[in-house]
Amino acid sequence: MAAVDSTPLILFPGLAADANVFAPQKIAFPQLVVPEWPLPLPSESLDSYCDRLAEELRSHGDAVIGGASFGGIIALHVARRLRPRAVLLIGSLRSASEHPRVTRLCRPLKPLVPWIPVRFLQLCCVPLTSKLARRNFPHLGGLARQFHSADPTVFKWSIARILDWNSTPAVDCPVFRIHGDRDFVLPIRGMKPDTVVRGGGHVISLTHPSEVNEFIRSAIHQTAG
The β-bridge partners of 197 are 180
Residues 98-114: pLDDT tens digits? 998 888 888 888 888 88
Residues 15-56: pLDDT tens digits? 878 898 999 999 999 999 999 999 999 889 999 999 999 999
Note the pTM of the prediction, 2 decimals: 0.89
Which pLDDT score, from 0 to 100, does residue 168 have? 84
**What are the chain's domains?**
2-99+166-222 (3.40.50.1820)
Which pLDDT score, from 0 to 100, does residue 6 have? 79
Q: Calculate the alpha carbon distances from 29 to 133, 136, 142, 206 in Å.
A: 28, 28, 21, 15
Q: What is the mean pLDDT of the chain?
A: 88
Residues 123-153: pLDDT tens digits? 877 776 667 656 666 666 666 666 777 888 9
2 pLDDT higher than 70: no
